[in-house]
Amino acid sequence: MAAAEGGAVDPRALSAPATDAAAALLARLVESGVRHVVLSPGSRSQALALVVAELERRGDVAVHVRIDERVAGFTALGIGRESGMPAAVVCTSGTATANLLPAVLEAHHAGIPMLLLTADRPPELRGVGANQTTRQPGMYAPNVRWEADLPAPDVTDPDGTSEQTAILRHVAGEALRAALGSGTRAPGPVHLNLPFREPLAGELPAWVDSASAAREADAALEASGALYQGGGGIGGADLPADPAEAPFRLEPGVRTVVVAGADAGPDAEELAHAGGWPLIAEIVSGARFGRRVVNGYRALLRDPELGGRVERAVVLGHPTLSREVVALLSRHDVEVVALRGPGEPLNLNGATVAVDAVAVVSGESDGVWLGAWMRASRDATVDLAPAAPDVQGLASAVPGERLGAISAELGAIRAPLDRPTLVDAVWRASWPHDRVVFGSSRLVRVADEVLGGKKVPVHANRGLAGIDGTISTALGVAIASQADGTAGVTRVLLGDLAFLHDVGALLLPPEEREPRIQVIVGNDGGGTIFDDLEVAGVADADAMRRVLYTPHTVRLEQLALAYGWEYHRATTRSALDQLLTAPVGGRQLIEVPLER
């Protein structure tokens, strides 16, 4: 260890370029509003990890450590889904970076902000057989909003005013801007690839929380004219200017329906109300509420007098749950106006008009059209609530009447759960301060068919509609929604295969605060969603069972015990209702056995 004159330790001897660079980047992100970091441990990323640990100690960020990078990626996705601000994901080099790809794809297609900070070997170790080294730059293209392969830091910065620090601060600002959707159609993932040379860790620089040093660094970089603009040796692309377009005018009188797909949000309900049009809202849309919502929309879209007479469909979000909506939006005799969203533009009929905004032109709406839909909607309403007790019968002095009422009450209490009553119980127990997360299982389609309108915040990974990452995403949603002490429970409703696919998400560090979350697993012992697909009519029964249905004998209770979750098993509606309405203090796994 080097010593300065007079025997004092030279602080430069304890510093490392990797640490100073990590501090510059992360401090800028924290200054700009990033409040969550999801981290998977690794050697090459240790400088980033130790800076994150110090920022957590100071109370600047909440850190969530996950040993599985796939779990880490989807946890960050859930945080971004709920909060609208990206979480930073930190991982080491090699296969660790590849494990983030599923979450990156979902974030891209669903328009969820995310910051990927992947540590890497320096350029001289790439392509020469070095350990844990692969081609990381461009790994996520074309699914990121912006990317940069940064130079390996080569100087220490004791006072926080070096050009290296200023460039990294600038890159952090550009990355956050791109993740939030500035200059693009929608928010999404951003990738910063960060090569580090040894030494990989050192003392945290004292200037990391100094606003004056940060301003000096930014001013010095601006004066030098070295602001990073993308391209060159760093990589990346310039960010385009924000698009501007006049709202598309929707004339009244045209027989119109508003279609709300995944993540459409309250705007869809507002548009349907303003236009006097029926609202076809998927259960994952966040728009299934209000006076215009249509119950049982699938059957009504098949009705020639209703769905067959639609002249215009205005689409918000990403519809994925019903063939009837896909058929409607594929018709050439229907004018389809789709508000632009993330991922590929909607154009199922080859003539869809994509717009940034719509405006309802004042005029008389078609009350006959709306009335026909609303009457049909009332007739299609499904009431799955348990029958109220026969109070008079229970209090009757006539033995036969009293015994009949008691028998009916016992029958209701002991009635086994099926899929409709399961989804109904979860929906009825949830309120605006709660969150409901649907997995891509058979249950979400049942919920879409039978559940009525209710203004409950809903999340689902429908960008690509994969079964992976559901629990991780829900944990991220719970973390973000409960971060400031807000009341509420996050309820996850999914099938057994989706649960098993993300079982690693159950592992949470004991140092982290437990979120209030209920993972409700409808366990029918395999992938029964295939029973409703074409393959069920053509496949050999043994082959169907072996490679599609994929039965299992996993004991969910033992998994809950191993991971430290509170476990419950509910076989009746009354038992499930009690679990869903009782106070929740932490992590609960609720298993509901279902018939195939």
What's the confidence (pLDDT) of residue 532? 72
CB atoms < 10 A from the CB of 479, how many?
25
Confidence of residue 88 (pLDDT cuts 50, 70, 90): very high
Percent of the chain clearing pLDDT 90 (strictly above) = 72
What's the confidence (pLDDT) of residue 1? 35
Query: Whole-number mean pLDDT of the chain?
Result: 89
DSSP structure string for 495-547: EHHHHHHTGGGG---TTSPPP-EEEEEEE-SS-GGGGGSGGGGTS-HHHIIII
pLDDT digits 0-9 by tens, 478-494: 999 999 888 999 999 99
Residue 388: which H helix or E strand, with range? none
Considering the four listed CATH numbers 3.30.950.10, 3.40.50.970, 3.30.43.10, 3.50.50.60, the one that applies to the domain covering 13-224 is 3.40.50.970
DSSP label at 149?
A: E
User: Which is the CATH superfamily of the domain at 415-593?
Assistant: Thiamin diphosphate (ThDP)-binding fold, Pyr/PP domains (3.40.50.970)
pLDDT digits 0-9 by tens, 418-428: 999 999 999 99
What's the confidence (pLDDT) of residue 234? 35
What's the confidence (pLDDT) of residue 345? 86
| Over residues 422-440, mean pLDDT | 97
Percent of the chain clearing pLDDT 70 (strictly above) = 89
Q: Is 412 exposed, middle or buried (0-12, 13-18, 19+ CB in 10 A)?
A: middle
User: What single-letter amino acid sits at 41?
Assistant: P
Q: Reply yes or no on whether the pLDDT at 395 is more than 60.
A: yes
**What is 248-380's CATH number?**
3.40.50.1220
Three-class secondary structure of residue 553 per DSSP: coil
- Angle at 295 (CA atoms; ends 294, 301), nearest 5 degrees: 70
DSSP structure string for 185-199: SS--EEEEEEE-PSP
**Of 400 and 489, the one with more pLDDT:** 489
Min mean pLDDT across 94-103, 310-319, 392-401 is at: 392-401
Q: Reply yes or no on whether the pLDDT at 125 is more than 90.
A: no
DSSP structure string for 401-456: HHHHHHHHHHHHHHPBP-HHHHHHHHHHH--TTSEEEE-SSHHHHHHHHH------
Q: Reply yes or no on whether the pLDDT at 527 is more than 50.
A: yes
Q: What is the rounded radius of gyration, in angstroms, for the C-alpha atoms of the chain?
A: 27
Say what angle helices 442-450 and 419-429 make with each other, to 10 degrees.
Answer: 70
Q: Is 357 exposed, middle or buried (0-12, 13-18, 19+ CB in 10 A)?
A: exposed
**Of 126 and 442, the one with more pLDDT:** 442
Residues 517 and 494 sit within 8 Å (Cβ to Cβ): no
Q: Which among 83, 522, 560, 112 is positioned nearest to 342, based on CA atoms?
A: 112
Q: What are the distances in angstroms from CA 296 to CA 253, 375, 452, 459?
A: 24, 12, 9, 21
Structure-block tokens of residue 298: 């699938």
pLDDT digits 0-9 by tens, 193-245: 999 999 998 888 988 765 444 555 555 555 544 444 433 333 334 444 445 57
Residues 205 and 157 sit within 8 Å (Cβ to Cβ): yes
Q: What are the sequence ranges of the domains in the chain? A: 13-224, 248-380, 415-593
Three-class secondary structure of residue 576 per DSSP: helix
Phi then psi dihedrals of residue 522, to 5 deg: -80, 105
User: What single-letter amino acid sits at 448?
Assistant: D
Please give the torsion angle defined by the CA atoms of residues 147, 151, 152 and 157, in that order, rounded to the nearest 10 degrees: -110
What's the confidence (pLDDT) of residue 382? 86
Q: Reply yes or no on whether the pLDDT at 273 is more than 80.
A: yes
What's the confidence (pLDDT) of residue 222? 53
Q: Reply yes or no on whether the pLDDT at 83 is more than 90.
A: yes
Query: Is 415-593 in the same CATH topology as 13-224?
Result: yes
Structure-block tokens of residue 460: 């689902």
What's the confidence (pLDDT) of residue 475? 98
Compute the distance between CA of residue 410 and CA of residue 430 in angstroms, rounded to an integer.
Answer: 26
Confidence of residue 344 (pLDDT cuts 50, 70, 90): confident
Confidence of residue 537 (pLDDT cuts 50, 70, 90): confident
What's the confidence (pLDDT) of residue 325? 98
Structure-block tokens of residue 41: 């441990």
What's the confidence (pLDDT) of residue 352? 96
